[in-house]
């Protein structure tokens, strides 16, 4: 068969799979959006122009008849961050996961390209680095989270890749990871994958890149040369019990060793060595056991927190599990701040007990937008977010275990089981992940559409 025919056949398979995914999406009603309009007035300022911020800007711009919306964000690019795993595994090219920010900000939105230093929620004032103070009547907090590279001893964002230590929680890092995985498939040796002890973006991402790396070595017929170990700081492989049995089966089938309750402390990039701590609780006593491992390839997840300005502005929880990293103190159902009723918060920065994913944001946006408009109209917020989040855990090149759940960690499947059995990895879910979710993000969510 000629190369031309091979390419044509490959494209046909891709189109057919994508078409099937479109049918599944339509059947599930994912693209429904209740049309709505309001005459409410007030100056809205949105801090942060990522998935949550731009989606809120676009939806509020559609719903308000006379919108007065300012967006504060310093970024030049709008990254599709769920695609970083696919860049790191060679499925996407790097230029497929970003667009110019200026092309993504809605035309009717005033964009202040600047960084927020602090907010005074009592006087409704925002202090910026270059544009002085900006006032607001209503505030939308969507600054995302802060990746604390300095919390892992021995490596920084600037030195990612040195000592073959990599992380996909950075655009350039994802590019370097793909090159390293290809090389590792040739050299073999020990590969170590870690998550982190803080809440972090997409808890499934470290698992995805681990399983994709394992599968890539099999695709290259070099699996016997590789030892692959996964370390999690959690007491279970995943925090949604429904999906754990199948995930454990997959790891066992693929001969990937799992160690629980273990956190990364430091990396020696010269010696290619990691320093970890296993923390077991026996009664009221914590037993800490140091672990030192040499590696050939390392993928690590850095600790994360709310941005510093959030903590310095008095928006954060001060007690409970969500206080340590400074997550914003909002009502988990209405997404309205517990102290400042003219503030809503959603996305990665929100202090709510669910996963930090784009799918969660897609469900949060219409709730937060409707409740904000209710506040602007002098009404009480009534819309409620049930904690829905989703994580498409890629189990190999071609299959995805689509994990969907709510605050109570109960499965919340979007698709009827007659279409897609969510308890198992599926080829259709791979097509959804690879071919459909990115267009839904750029041409749906960021345009105030694609919500349900």
Tell me the catalytic residues: 202, 391
Give me the DSSP letters along 196-248: -SS--B-TTHHHHHHHHHHHHHHHTT-GGGEEEEEE-SSSSS-S-GGGHHHHH
From CA 244, how far away is CA 239, in angstroms rounded?
A: 8
Distance CA 367, CA 378 (A): 17
Contact 298, 191 (CB under 8 A): yes
Strand 389-396 and strand 399-405: the pairing is antiparallel
Give the rounded distance of the alpha carbon of 298 from its chain centre. 21
Secondary structure class of 305 (helix, strand, coil):
strand
Residue 221 token pair: 């017929």
- What angle do helix axes 358-376 and 51-63 make, rounded to 10 degrees? 40
- Cα separation, 18 vs 20, whole angstroms: 5
Greatest pairwise CA separation for the chain in angstroms: 70
Measured distance CA(24)–CA(172) in Å, rounded: 34
Per the CB < 8 A criterion, the answer to whether 148 and 303 are in contact is yes
Beta-bridged to residue 441, according to DSSP, are: none
Q: Which residues contact 46 (CB under 8 A, 6 or more apart)?
A: 53, 56, 57, 69, 70, 71, 72, 139, 140, 142
């Amino acid at each position: 068969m000629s190369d031309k025919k091979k390419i044509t056949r490959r494209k046909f398979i891709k189109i057919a799979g994508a078409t099937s995914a479109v049918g599944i999406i339509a059947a599930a009603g994912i693209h429904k959006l209740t049309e709505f309009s309001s005459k409410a007035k007030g100056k809205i300022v949105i801090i942060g122009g990522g998935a949550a911020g731009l989606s809120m800007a676009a939806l509020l711009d559609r719903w308000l008849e006379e919108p007065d919306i300012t967006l504060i964000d310093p970024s030049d690019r709008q990254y599709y961050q769920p695609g970083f795993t696919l860049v790191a595994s060679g499925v996407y090219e790097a230029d497929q996961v970003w667009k110019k920010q200026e092309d993504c900000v809605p035309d009717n939105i005033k964009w202040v390209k600047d960084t927020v230093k602090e907010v005074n929620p009592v006087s409704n004032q925002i202090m910026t680095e270059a544009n002085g103070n900006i006032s607001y009547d209503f505030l939308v907090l969507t600054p995302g989270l802060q990746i604390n590279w300095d919390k892992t001893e021995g490596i920084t964002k600037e030195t990612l890749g040195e000592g073959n230590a990599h992380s996909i929680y950075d655009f350039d890092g994802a590019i370097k990871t793909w090159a390293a995985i290809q090389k590792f498939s040739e050299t073999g040796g020990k590969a170590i994958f870690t998550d982190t002890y803080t809440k972090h973006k997409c808890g499934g991402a470290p698992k995805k890149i681990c399983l994709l790396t394992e599968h890539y070595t099999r695709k290259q017929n070099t699996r016997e040369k590789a030892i692959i170990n996964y370390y999690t700081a959690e007491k279970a492989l995943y925090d949604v019990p429904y999906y754990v049995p199948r995930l454990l089966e997959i790891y066992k089938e693929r001969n990937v060793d799992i160690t629980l309750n273990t956190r990364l402390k430091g990396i020696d990039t010269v010696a290619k060595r990691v320093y970890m701590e296993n923390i077991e609780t026996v009664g009221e006593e914590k037993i800490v056991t140091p672990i030192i491992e040499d590696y050939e390839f390392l993928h690590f997840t850095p600790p994360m927190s709310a941005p510093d300005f959030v903590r310095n502005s008095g928006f954060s929880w001060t007690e409970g599990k969500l206080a340590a990293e400074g997550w914003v103190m909002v009502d988990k159902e209405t997404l309205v701040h517990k102290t400042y009723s003219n503030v809503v918060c959603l996305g990665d920065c929100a202090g709510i007990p669910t996963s930090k994913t784009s799918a969660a944001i897609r469900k949060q946006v219409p709730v937060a937008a409707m409740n904000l408009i209710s506040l602007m109209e002098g009404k009480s917020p009534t819309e409620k977010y049930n904690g829905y989040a989703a994580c498409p855990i890629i189990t190999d090149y071609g299959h995805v275990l689509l994990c969907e759940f709510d605050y109570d960690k109960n499965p919340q499947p979007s698709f009827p089981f007659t279409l897609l059995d969510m308890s198992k990895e599926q080829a259709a879910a791979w097509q959804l992940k690879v071919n459909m979710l990115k267009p839904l993000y750029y041409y749906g969510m960021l345009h105030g559409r694609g919500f349900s």
